[in-house]
């Protein structure tokens, strides 16, 4: 009976995070638009899910990546928007957010780190995973194409431009996600949702 309740809770939390991911992926609630890239917080539900229900929450990351790819086909925004049609750029980094957040959370759980720090650090690692993989893979795969399409606005080269995005948008995403994920995870756990480990 206990196992059944846990399964129902897992499904319910996954469904809730799927729904929030959809809303954040297709409305202003999930992005902070700039002229060059959208600073996304749409993967926040992924980090919350893996901390509340474990590995099953990684499905939310894959789902967020698929939505990111769909958005790139239906409503690409900014210079980099079309490149997110490639699942290596859109899906893979989002899927890895769940993996790195989960294992960070589990490893920190074996230490004496206070829970608020454990959640916050895991969220920072998850958010940095997304920023690092997206910008790194854009450079590896599309540096020449990006330079050809928009070289006039990046006199320092693609690498310098992407590092600038990481410093501005990426740091903002890390801070926002760490703050919000900590509040949501601790609040939901206090309400009896998710696991205590």
Q: What is the per-residue pLDDT for 23? A: 92
Mean predicted lDDT score pLDDT of the chain:
85
SS3 call for 138: helix
Question: What's the fold here for domain 2-190?
Answer: Arp2/3 complex 21 kDa subunit ARPC3 (1.10.1760)
> Based on the number of CB atoms within 10 Å of its own CB, is 110 exposed (0-12), middle (13-18) or buried (19 or more)?
exposed
End-to-end CA distance of the chain: 20
E strand map for the chain: 31-33, 38-40
Helix (H, G, I), strand (E, B) or coil at 40: strand
With CA atoms as reference, report the closest residue to 49 among 95, 12, 17. Answer: 17
Within 13 Å, how many C-alpha atoms sit on residue 139's CB side? 15
**pTM higher than the cut 0.75:** yes
Taking the CA atoms of 127, 34, 32 and 68 in sequence, report the sign of the dihedral they define: negative
Q: What is the pLDDT of residues 184-196, one digit of tens each?
A: 999 998 887 766 5
Domain locations in the chain as residue ranges? 2-190
Q: 154 pLDDT band (50/70/90 cuts)?
A: low
């Amino acid at each position: 009976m206990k196992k059944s309740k846990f399964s129902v809770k897992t499904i319910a939390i996954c469904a809730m995070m799927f729904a929030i991911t959809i809303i954040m992926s297709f409305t202003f609630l999930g992005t902070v638009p700039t002229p060059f890239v959208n600073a996304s917080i749409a993967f926040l539900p992924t980090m919350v899910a893996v901390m509340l229900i474990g590995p099953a929450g990684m499905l939310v990351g894959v789902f967020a990546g698929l939505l990111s790819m769909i958005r790139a086909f239906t409503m690409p925004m900014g210079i980099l928007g079309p490149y997110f049609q490639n699942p290596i750029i859109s899906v893979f980094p989002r899927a890895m957010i769940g993996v790195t957040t989960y294992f960070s959370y589990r490893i920190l759980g074996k230490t004496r780190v206070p829970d608020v720090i454990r959640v916050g650090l895991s969220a920072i690692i998850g958010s940095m995973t997304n920023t690092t993989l997206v910008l790194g893979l854009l450079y590896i795969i599309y540096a020449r194409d990006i330079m050809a399409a928009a070289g006039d606005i990046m006199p320092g080269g693609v690498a310098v431009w992407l590092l600038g995005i990481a410093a501005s948008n990426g740091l903002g995403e890390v801070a926002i996600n760490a703050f919000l994920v900590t509040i949501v995870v601790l609040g939901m756990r206090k309400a009896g949702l998710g696991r205590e480990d």
